[in-house]
Structure 1
Amino acid sequence: MKRLLVLGAGTAGTMVANRLRRRLPRDEWRITAVDESDKHFYQPGYLFIPFGTYAPDDVVRPRRRSLRAGVDLVRGTVDRVDTETDTVVLTDGRALPYDQLVIATGVTPRPDQTPGMLDGGQWRRSIFDFYTHDGAVALADALKAFDGGRLVVHIVDMPIKCPVAPLEFAFLADAYLRERGIRDRVELVYATPLPGAFTKPIASRTLGAMLDDRKISLEADFLVERVDDRTLVSYDEREIGFDLLVTVPLNMGADFVARSGLGDELNLVPVDRYTLLATGHRNIFAIGDANDIPASKAGSVAHFAVDVFVGNFLRHIAGQPMTGRFDGHANCFVESGGGRALLIDFNYDTEPLPGRYPVPRLGPFSLLAETAVNHWGKLAFRPVYWHALLPGRPVPLPAHMSMAGKRVPTAEE
């Protein structure tokens, strides 16, 4: 019996385990997923908890319910991967051998990596995050109590999970404060290490204009050095004071990746960007947020990558070349407030462009344009996630990005 071991049973790990359980003979392959938590979180839903759109329980399910019958679940924390013996060692001393290993342990926010962020009792009092379930719940209470002052939405550094989420939070905060009738008492600031609102020029112009329209100040190229007494201080000595800070801390991969000698300085696993095979290894893959591919760390990337990975993996274990090539395809709904949203669709080589998706001229979704249909598409994704993506059922979207329905805007646009 051969052993496939999947470290991490979040979005990417669950999809891999479920999809391969459908394809691998049960009398030949044992599939085991390892995770330290017995709960599966719908992480895109964290954005909506602070504004009351979702309740905390709306984004949580038992992890066992998300895994197909025939996938074993081991509760435990990984201490290290011993690549010499093809064994994963857990912190409680258990050793799990593998023939093929998939690392899907994602990234987590690390506020401890920014000097001063956890000092002075400010964490979860005047400094909050929404990239964790606990953080989003705590922020909901803080927003209800917030009655005016400077609200700063801040990114420590890239890459981060769902790089549009901080922008979404800023737009939703603007709408939320208007609904409460206190927007005129709040200065909203968006502080980012990027040179603009987003990483790609066309989308950056569109999203930057949206910040301007909402009177949200953009503080670009802001690389925070420390937090000092309700003040963000950058390496170039700029300062941004705050009454309420909503930050996206440095995102890092799991510590066992570093202990195992498998990662870079952020504990991300270097891989071939097309096959996701770990550099220098014959039987280790890293998928989802855990790897270093130059693509968004978003659920859509995990979904499209798994579509390509499954076929490649089956060829790989059969001793055949992996001919599938993941192109970095990502698409993300961007909530903009007031029941509207944008949609962006891009890959390694092509930036987000205007147009229609997924069917040219028909849509129903508009690219780089605010519509109510896009907003409802974002909300509709939650049941699709639970009932189609995670179980490994077919979703009628191509894994590779298509230029159909897209257009390159003119210089005047």
Structure 2
Amino acid sequence: MSRRIVILGGGTGGTLAANRLRRVCGADVEIIVVDRDDRHVYQPGLLFVPFGLAEPEEIVRSRRAQLHDGVDFRLAEVEHVDAPASTVHLAGGETIAYDVLVVASGAALLPEETEGLGGAGWGQEVFTFFELESATALAAALAELDRGRLVVNPVDMPIKCPVAPLEFCFLADWYLRERGVRDAVQITYVTSLDAAFTKPVASAHLAGLLAAKGIALETEFATGQVDGAQGRLVSYDDREVPFDLLVSIPLHGGPAHVGRSPGLGDELGFVATDPHTLQARVAPNVFALGDATNLPTSKAGSVTHFEGDTLVANIAHHLAGEPLEPSFDGHSNCFIETGFHKALLIDFNYDVEPLPGRFPEPHLGPLALLKESRMNHMAKLAFQWMYWHVLLPGRDLPGISPQLQLAGKDLSQLPTLQGGPR
């Protein structure tokens, strides 16, 4: 009798995991992917929609169409997981038993967790670009903005792609300059962090870019209320930031079904996951990857891709009764659009923060780390093709290791780091 792998989520993680497992395990294993819709959104493209740099129809495809032959796609809502019984319960009463479960159902936006967000002003003066319909509506609002105060506010971490709100600020600066109205629009980046970004070396570079572009930085702002009627952000300690147009990145949490599944998630609804093996804490035959995990690394597509190697290898080890490999090191890299056809690139892991240098090789690597370049911008644009044709099908990116490589990096700026997953 063949064994069954059930994958919850047909996004980046679920799709690449299913396709890799199909190739590695062959026909001896049944693979089922469950998702509530058949709408796969290329999420990095959402950043470009408000500026007219991408059309909505360009970044949406069928989930089912991205899966290899032999992978079963089920259109259904997950009610909860019964880990002791190795069973997934679907809305409507259907159940699916599994030998291995992979939770790859991403992160959910939770605007209802912030007072006023989604209420007065939503869709008129308040938007988010983390969701396609709102990103599309935001394009019209930006086109009409010719004076006033533009505020960008990630309510709190963690969020998908932590650099995306900064990218929005940089692209807004460029967009408004191209329209000739930048001097009449004040841009403010409001964050709960004590700096522009979570990693000190990268944060210094990014804060410098904000200052150079005349973008104000408001730190340690714990957003408690969005007052759309009066056009103001209010913090829990009663600080206020006024706005004419607010771009909010709502609180994120784990998928609702994780919270309904005893033992599966943490207090935020993210799957409690071993940071190196990707095995879930709840049971030996449950694994997780991508934004659904509680791992202390960025919720980004590159992380999911690098996790794929470890996940697939460890599922094969589990099915064979072999020890798991603690091979995932938290590797993440990300292009950061800075406007004017340029971008930065950062590359880091659990223990090594972003450093200057070259990527992926010290001498042949064409991409500059922590330095603006047109080549980085072109590479970010090219990644959309690679996403659909290389990453989702489960292929390796040529010349790029799943583990962080120190070659090519300026180690003189490497601080002595303590802690982190070991």
Write the distance in 2 (CA, Å) between the matches of 1:280 and 1:38: 29
Write the distance in 2 (CA, Å) between the matches of 1:48 and 1:253: 25
* TM-score of the superposed pair, with normalisation by structure 1: 0.97
1:30-80 Cα distance to aligned partner (Å, 9 max, x none): 100000111111100000011111111110111111000000000011011
1:156-209 Cα distance to aligned partner (Å, 9 max, x none): 000100000000000000000000000011010000111111001100000000
Quote the residue 1:49 is aligned against: 49
* TM-score of the superposed pair, with normalisation by structure 2: 0.95
One-letter amino acid of the counterpart of residue 18, structure 1: N
Structure 1 unaligned blocks of 5 or more: none
Write the distance in 1 (CA, Å) between the matches of 2:16 and 2:413: 40
Write the distance in 2 (CA, Å) between the matches of 1:321 and 1:187: 56
1:257 and 2:258 are equivalent in the alignment: yes
Write the distance in 1 (CA, Å) between the matches of 2:413 and 2:198: 19
Write the distance in 2 (CA, Å) between the matches of 1:43 and 1:182: 29
Quote the residue 1:169 is aligned against: 168
Quote the residue 1:295 is aligned against: 297
Q: Could you tell me how far 1:82 is from its partner in structure 2?
A: 1.3
> What RMSD over aligned residues (CA atoms) do the two structures have, in Å?
1.1
Q: Say which SS state the counterpart of residue 24 (structure 1) adopts.
A: helix
Quote the residue 1:159 is aligned against: 158
Q: Could you tell me how far 1:15 is from its partner in structure 2?
A: 0.5
Q: Could you tell me how far 1:140 is from its partner in structure 2?
A: 0.9
Quote the residue 2:130 is aligned against: 131
Cα contact 1:203–1:368 (8 A) shared by 2 = yes
One-letter amino acid of the counterpart of residue 297, structure 2: A
Cα contact 2:225–2:235 (8 A) shared by 1 = yes
**Equivalent residues in 2 for 1:27-106 (5 A)?**
28-106=28-106
Write the distance in 1 (CA, Å) between the matches of 2:198 and 2:208: 15
Cα contact 2:355–2:413 (8 A) shared by 1 = no
Structure 2 unaligned blocks of 5 or more: 415-422
Write the distance in 1 (CA, Å) between the matches of 2:282 and 2:18: 23
Q: Say which SS state the counterpart of residue 115 (structure 1) adopts.
A: coil
Write the distance in 1 (CA, Å) between the matches of 2:81 and 2:356: 44
Write the distance in 2 (CA, Å) between the matches of 1:230 and 1:93: 45
Aligned with 1:363 (options 361, 365, 377): 365
Instruction: Please identify runs of 4+ aligned residues in structure 1 that moved more than 6 A.
Output: none
Quote the residue 2:409 is aligned against: 406
Q: Could you tell me how far 1:409 is from its partner in structure 2?
A: 5.0
With over 3 angstroms needed to count, the CA separation of the structure-2 counterparts of 1:100 and 1:144, relative to structure 1, is: same
Write the distance in 1 (CA, Å) between the matches of 2:37 and 2:16: 17
1:255-307 Cα distance to aligned partner (Å, 9 max, x none): 11011121122110111100111113111111100010000000000000101
One-letter amino acid of the counterpart of residue 14, structure 1: T
Quote the residue 2:417 is aligned against: none
Write the distance in 1 (CA, Å) between the matches of 2:413 and 2:290: 34
Write the distance in 2 (CA, Å) between the matches of 1:247 and 1:218: 15
Bigger mean CA deviation after superposition, 89-98 or 327-336: 89-98
Percent identity over the alignment is 52
Bigger mean CA deviation after superposition, 137-146 or 239-248: 137-146
Cα contact 1:353–1:409 (8 A) shared by 2 = no
One-letter amino acid of the counterpart of residue 209, structure 1: G
Quote the residue 1:113 is aligned against: 113
Write the distance in 2 (CA, Å) between the matches of 1:62 and 1:5: 19
**Equivalent residues in 2 for 1:4-403 (5 A)?**
4-26=5-27, 28-120=28-120, 122-228=121-227, 229-261=230-262, 262-396=264-398, 397-403=400-406
